[in-house]
């Protein structure tokens, strides 16, 4: 049970680390344009989520992963492409990453093998936060007159 919990928490941690890296890259691209302050706030929330997940991995006797793993490599590739094609692609790449994270959190929240305190943290904090990130990215794209994909 503990190994299952640690493995799942580390998987979620890798996603948060990838998100942190991707937002850093996007902020470098977007600079001070419309939406930059909101993206900085989301970046901070991902950093805080990563720290919370690290604490939980420790709490269950595990060693937190240090890198973002495969998802981080994918996120870097997507973000690299976005840099070539402009800010619209960067925002869409961020939204894609948030949607991926939302799916991961939804799965974890339903995992009966995870301790209830982990599922509660996911349901009460990480899921609403991720949904809010997606809504924020949609608002930024709408203000810029960019079509929002469903």
Residue 106 lies in a domain: yes
11-61: pLDDT as tens digits = 999 999 988 988 887 888 777 878 889 999 999 999 999 999 999 999 999
Backbone region of residue 34 per phi and psi (left: phi > 0; alpha: psi in -120 to 50; beta: other values): beta
60-73: pLDDT as tens digits = 999 999 876 655 55
Q: How many domains does the chain have?
A: 1
Residue 150 lies in a domain: no
Residue 11 lies in a domain: yes
Residue 125: which domain range? 2-143
CATH number at residue 97: 1.20.1260.10
Residue 149 lies in a domain: no
Residue 30 lies in a domain: yes
Q: Model pTM greater than 0.85? A: yes
Residue 97 lies in a domain: yes
Q: How far apart are CA 29 and CA 31, in angstroms?
A: 6
């Amino acid at each position: 049970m503990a190994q299952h919990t640690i493995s799942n928490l580390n998987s979620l941690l890798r996603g948060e680390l990838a998100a942190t890296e991707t937002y850093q890259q996007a902020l470098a691209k977007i600079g001070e344009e419309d939406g930059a302050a909101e993206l900085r706030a989301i970046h901070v929330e991902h950093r805080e989520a990563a720290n919370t997940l690290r604490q939980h991995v420790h709490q269950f006797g595990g060693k937190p992963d240090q890198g973002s793993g495969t998802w981080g490599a994918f996120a870097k590739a997507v973000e690299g492409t976005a840099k070539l094609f402009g800010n619209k692609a960067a925002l869409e790449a961020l939204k894609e990453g948030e949607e991926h994270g939302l799916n991961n959190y939804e799965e974890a929240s339903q995992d009966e093998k995870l301790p209830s305190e982990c599922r509660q943290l996911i349901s009460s904090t990480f899921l609403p936060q991720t949904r809010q990130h997606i809504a924020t990215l949609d608002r930024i794209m709408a203000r810029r007159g960019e079509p929002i994909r469903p």
